[in-house]
Structure 1
């Protein structure tokens, strides 16, 4: 298994005017397993064509296609009304995984969960929810929400974001120990003074966490990385995943 790439690693390039497609082309032939694009980084005028071409790029490189939806699934007493259109988009462009923030499900009813399950079961795309850097993302709330969804047999995975815990005054390691049995996708980043930094430059004990993941859990780099450092960060994680000696 190899590390995967979220297009957040190209933030500086995209802010300079490059498309996610152009950035991803640079990864052709790289030792990565999957790519994840970000919905908020598309231009509405070119999004359709870009998604078509990213799908072809994934096929050419044998990558799985992940998509990050910049919304939350639960809005206190409502389920995101855009979910159906996101699922249909995934079908259209052969997207394998959708990720969406958890949100607040404190007043979601059993009937609403039954409807959610029915909708998700109609589509082949796998959907995961992610912990957020706000009050809805503290570990106690996330753990209880995941347990409730599992109890109702809702076909949702869980994307663990290693960085978001710092904004709710939790430590990634402690949070991991509470939710590790639910994790199906892992977003890796290191944080120092609430800023993302290169791996090993921050406070996150990322090696200990990564070594406890299930062998088939996709691990995404999800932080802005200078062009001349990207291969180093890829190699660092791949060496750990594959039990090689990691040089520091």
Structure 2
């Protein structure tokens, strides 16, 4: 693959659920030859973890993204806690923050200007993501949101989560074809069905032709592996992606 490859800390979900701090896992990612990682806000339990993460990123010469499972816009105005999330990101020297869409697809001029003013105060980039919810996960909502971003010239990119489409009974191939030119970050996972319900699986075991998608993504798009797995499988999954042509 041509694009830079990164790891979302969800790959260590079992450890995170057991209380392992994300700061203690970053060196393991770097030791796999990966310099781009995405930490998850829902697993940061102590304020001291922000400084611990920043220290590990600096010592291991890594680039860090921040996944915030909160709406960037609520009731057509910026989330009242948006500055709090961005201040957290600043403490960790984050380069990109990812949010849920919320009602960004319905934002008006006043709300857009307020949002733009808040985001302009920080030296980082921002993305929204199609998640697994009815509110933020449909193709229609995602497309409308990206149209609003263009209309109001908001400094917000797009993290496409490849697997999440199945939770909304959407077609990932159709969605990718329609939105691929607007993708700035690509969350890579594959999906199979068990009892008619989607579940994440190892990349080579799923239904999505992800290799063909990576082929046509722009060189500047960052590709992040983002699905839980047994720790001993991480190295193999990294190689599977790197070898994709």
Fold shared per TM-score above 0.5: yes
Decide whether the 8 Å contact of 1:7 with 1:36 is kept in 2.
yes
Q: Which residue of structure 1 aligns with residue 72 of structure 2?
A: 73
The count of aligned residue pairs is 238
Indicate which of 190, 212, 218 corresponds to 1:208: 212
Give 1:223's aligned residue.
227
Q: Which runs of 5+ in 2 are unaligned?
A: none
Question: Is this contact kept in 1: 2:30–2:62, CA < 8 A?
Answer: no
TM-score by length of 2: 0.91
Whether contact under 8 Å (2:41, 2:68) holds in the other structure is yes
Using the size of structure 1 for normalisation, the TM-score is 0.90
1:113 aligns with 2:112: yes
Distance 1:78 1:50, change over 3 A: same
Q: Is residue 238 from structure 1 mapped to residue 226 from structure 2 by the alignment? A: no
Distance of 2:52 and 2:26 partners within structure 1: 11
What aligned pairs does 1:61-140 form with structure 2 within 5 A after superposition?
61-135=60-134, 136-140=136-140
Write the deviation string for residues 127-156 of structure 1: whole angstroms up to 9, x where unpaired.
111112233321122112101211211000
Instruction: Work out the CA distance in 2 between the residues paired with 1:109 and 1:133.
Output: 25
Of residues 218-227 and 127-136 in structure 1, the stretch that sits farther from structure 2 once superposed is 127-136
CA distance in 2, matches of 1:236, 1:33: 17
Q: State the Cα distance separating 1:232 from its structure 2 match.
A: 0.1
**Residue in 1 aligned with 2:27?**
25
Whether contact under 8 Å (1:139, 1:178) holds in the other structure is: no
Superposition deviation, residue 233 in structure 1: 0.3
- In 2: Cα distance, 1:179 partner to 1:76 partner: 25
Tell me, in whole angstroms, the C-alpha distance in 2 between the residues paired with 1:134 and 1:17.
26
**Of 26-35 and 191-200, the range deviating more from structure 2:** 26-35
Query: Stretches of 4+ moved more than 3 A in 1?
Result: none
What stretches of structure 1 of length at least 5 have no aligned partner?
244-248
8 A contact 1:34–1:64 mirrored in 2: yes
* Equivalent pair of 2:191/2:207 in contact (CA under 8 Å): yes
